[in-house]
Structure 1
Amino acid sequence: MSGTPGPWSSSVLPPALTLRSGFWISVDLMETSSTFLYFAYGSNLLKERLQLKNPSAAVHCVARLQDYRLVFGNHRGMASERWHGGVATIERSPGEEVWGVVWRMSLNDLDSLDMQENVTLGAYSPVELVVRSRGAKLSCRTYIMNSCVYAPPSPQYLKVMVMGALQNGLPAEYQAKLRLIKTNMYQGPLPVMDELTRRIQSPAHL
């Protein structure tokens, strides 16, 4: 699945570009800000989750992706070892919308973000999509799962999403919709949740 052609699409490439992790980044942008915009809609809605491996992430705004829907699944049906259930992805669906958080991140974190999304393993592909925030259009990097086999998320994964939606003030109706998503009822250990809990409760974080 490909995203909507944006300002860095092949038909309108600016004169100076560099390819980073399969994503065209303007050299001028690198020289002026060395950052990029990332639209998160899954577990990376929660700041503490995203910053585990991507410390530069800072909230830019809340935004809406039109004509897509949020779904859960696993790449080729292989359950996530980290989350023990389906994980979030998006797919085209005219008339629907996905809310998320736009993060501004350093280009130094681009490779680690790709690693988190298992890009090199083919689980997700990075795409450029246009989201809307208070009437403004923003071209953002996001990720779409390849060969998705639908599967419900674990309660822990959904909890992280719900916490992130609340933390960043996503629309109340959308938050309510997230809370109604059915899970697989997994109750076993999840090291990533332990790590998140320690981070949230640490004195430095408080």
Structure 2
Amino acid sequence: MESTRSPPRSTFLYFAYGSNLLKERLQLKNPSATVHCVAKLEDYRLVFGNHQGRASERWHGGVATIEHSPGDEVWGVVWRLSVSDLESLDSQENVTLGAYRPVELTVVADGDDLSCRTYIMNSCVYAPPSPQYLKVMVMGAEQNGLPPEYQARLRSVKTNEYEGPLPVMAELERARRAHSAPPPR
């Protein structure tokens, strides 16, 4: 007798709209991530904030989240990841600490609807991002060819002007250099 159950999925789609727009940032902890496409989330807007008003220790400022907003849109990257990276992605998004919750949302890519996992901050208190956090988002938007007007909108976000060191930036720079280095002979 044939089974009518479908086989378990080995991958899932993830819609990134914040620092995970940048390939090297996402792949630090989620090596299976590959670009699936660029997509638009309709009736949401991008905002920056801190979970319960506590600034991100990693980024020293507000971080991206989304909130329902009829008529607005958020552009991002749909990544395909192995299910084996799901726990790591949840950890990166501080799900166990309660900062973000995973949700399934529908995004539009080339006229097609895609169901994707993404994350929404709990108890968000609005706060500007650090210049470094915004730089990572802008680099990811450029890297993946998000619409030019959306990239301009990201560049216009006011930051908190934090100038101190961020260890994550050094880690990202090492990863970017490793990706751009010519292969060994």
The equivalent of 2:80 in structure 1 is 104
Question: Structure 1 residues 75, 182: closer, same or farther in 2, change over 3 A?
Answer: same
Q: Does 1:95 align with 2:95?
A: no
The equivalent of 1:28 in structure 2 is 7
**What is the identity, as a one-letter code, of the residue corresponding to 2:11?**
T
Secondary structure of the residue that 1:60 maps to in structure 2? strand
| Structure 1 counterpart of 2:44, from 24, 47, 68 | 68
Q: Does 1:199 align with 2:175?
A: yes
Q: Note the alpha carbon deviations across 1:148-192, whole angstroms, 9 max, x for none.
A: 000000000000000000000000000000000000000001000
Q: Note the alpha carbon deviations across 1:82-118, whole angstroms, 9 max, x for none.
A: 0000000000000000000000000000000000000
| Structure 2 counterpart of 1:121, from 87, 90, 97 | 97
RMSD: 1.3
Question: Structure 1 residues 203, 138: closer, same or farther in 2, change over 3 A?
Answer: closer
**What is the identity, as a one-letter code, of the residue corresponding to 1:122?**
G
The alpha-carbon deviation at position 201 of structure 1 amounts to 1.2
The alpha-carbon deviation at position 199 of structure 1 amounts to 1.1
Q: What is the distance in 1 between the residues matched to 2:84 and 2:47?
A: 29
Q: What is the distance in 1 between the residues matched to 2:180 and 2:62?
A: 32
| Structure 2 counterpart of 1:167, from 134, 143, 148 | 143
The ranges of structure 1 where at least 4 consecutive aligned residues each deviate by more than 3 angstroms after the TM superposition are 203-206
So what's the TM-score if we normalise by structure 1? Answer: 0.84
Q: Note the alpha carbon deviations across 1:106-160, whole angstroms, 9 max, x for none.
A: 0000000000000001000000000000100000000000000000000000000
For structure 1, the 5+ residue unaligned runs are: 1-14, 17-26
Q: What is the distance in 1 between the residues matched to 2:75 and 2:42?
A: 9
So what's the TM-score if we normalise by structure 2? Answer: 0.94
Secondary structure of the residue that 2:7 maps to in structure 1? helix
**What is the identity, as a one-letter code, of the residue corresponding to 1:160?**
V
For structure 2, the 5+ residue unaligned runs are: none
Question: Structure 1 residues 146, 181: closer, same or farther in 2, change over 3 A?
Answer: same
Q: What is the distance in 2 between the residues matched to 1:183 and 1:203?
A: 28
Q: Does 1:136 align with 2:115?
A: no
The equivalent of 1:23 in structure 2 is none
| Structure 2 counterpart of 1:154, from 102, 127, 130 | 130
Q: Tell me if structure 2 keeps the 8 A contact 1:29–1:35.
A: no
Q: How many pairs align?
A: 179
Q: Note the alpha carbon deviations across 1:35-64, whole angstroms, 9 max, x for none.
A: 000000000000000000000000000000
